[in-house]
Amino acid sequence: MLRFANPLAFALVGLIVAGLLLRRRLSGGRRPRLLFTGTRLLRDAGLVAGRVPLRLLAGLRIAALALLVVAAARPQAGHRRVEVSSEGIDVVIALDVSGSMRAEDFRPKNRLHVAKEVVASFIDGRASDRIGLVLFAGRAFVQCPLTLDYGILKEQLATVKIGMLEDGTAIGSAIASSVNRLRASEAKSRVIILVTDGVNNAGNIDPITAARLAAAMKVKIHTVGVGRPGGEALFPVDDPVFGKRMVRLEAQLDEKTLSAIADSTGGEYFRASDPAALREIFDRIGEMEKTKIESVEFVDYEERAGWFLLPAVGLLALESGLAATRFLVVP
């Protein structure tokens, strides 16, 4: 970017023009002349007569004056420099992949399919946060460690399916595994988003004990309970005789434990009864756990008057040289 430190110098243009007009008016617009019987002697001496040389000399003088005025205005070139500081957030998403996530109360898709779509959208909404993915059923498994490569993370998310792990719901193990991923993190904020539709019935770690461990390490846990209220949900069953059919089974969701986990770590518990609610929950969590970014802009300026001053001097020297030799004016 270019700026002028002394823009008032451009007022010199008006003064110069006014001075030239005044001089022309006082002189009557005529130059002093001498009459010659011919111009042969001037041509023989290597001198040129006529109006073209005079206009050329005037043009050189005007161009030089214009460059001098620009130089007097002190042009400066600026280089923009932005310093960005951010308080990053490390997020681990703990996703339930147990058999109960096949329930199709989020029709036309099952719970896991909708949860994967919402998590992918959540990832797309982040910019500078490291995100990891932990899966759990009968045990917990790190599907993707903390990363800024959201493309790889989403590829890993796309491969998630029910049956990857032995069945069960090891909520305590999922929290412990997620906390272990965040243990070495130096981020200002460390968060776990736990998504489940069941009751802890597997693993060797009690969910409340794992939550206390997270609280001791200043890790916040938001818990999301998935499933429609009412006690029953439709599950697909592969019947060897009638093929795939839907049956109603009792849906279990330990909201009391999920709420206690969130409360003990400073997080919140959310209930997602349909796909829209799940999306709203993740949007809300995204707003709550937003990275703080501060930017300070600096502009360094360098003087550029020399770029105009040197050509101006050169033009004046050229004009003076031509006026004293090739384009000598008599008198």
| DSSP one-letter code for 7 | G
* Number of compact structural domains in the chain: 2
Residue 331 domain-assigned (yes or no): no
- pLDDT score of 132 more than 60: yes
154 and 18 belong to one structural domain: no
The model's pLDDT over 290-326, given as tens digits with 9 standing for 90+, comes to 765 455 556 667 777 777 778 877 777 777 777 667 6
Q: Which CATH number does the domain housing residue 277 bear?
A: 3.40.50.410
| Mean per-residue pLDDT, 215-224 | 96
Question: Does any domain span residue 329?
Answer: no
Regarding whether 269 and 147 lie in a shared domain, the answer is yes
Angle made by CA atoms 141, 146, 151, in degrees to the nearest 5:
100
Point out which residues pair with 270 in neighbouring strands: 224
Do 55 and 112 lie in one domain? The reply is no
Q: Has residue 141 got a pLDDT over 80?
A: yes
271 and 145 in a common domain: yes
- A 10 A CB-CB count for 212 gives 15
Mean pLDDT computed over 24-37 = 59
In a domain? residue 330: no
Task: Output the pTM of the full model.
Answer: 0.63
43, 110: one domain? no
- Per DSSP bridges, beta strands 75-87 and 2-4 are antiparallel
Identify whether residues 214 and 115 lie together within a single domain: yes
SS3 assignment, position 58: helix
Verify that 267 and 122 share a domain, yes or no.
Answer: yes
* Mean pLDDT in residue range 204-221: 95
Give residue-wise pLDDT tens across range 243-285: 676 677 777 889 999 999 999 999 999 999 889 999 999 999 9
Domain span including residue 45: 2-79+302-324
Same domain membership, residue 319 and residue 171: no
Q: What local confidence, expressed as pLDDT, does residue 243 receive?
A: 65
Mean pLDDT of the chain: 81
Same domain, 183 and 138: yes
Residue range 196-207: mean pLDDT, rounded: 93
Residues 286 and 146 placed together within one structural domain of the fold:
yes
Q: How confident is the model at residue 181 (pLDDT cuts 50, 70, 90)?
A: very high
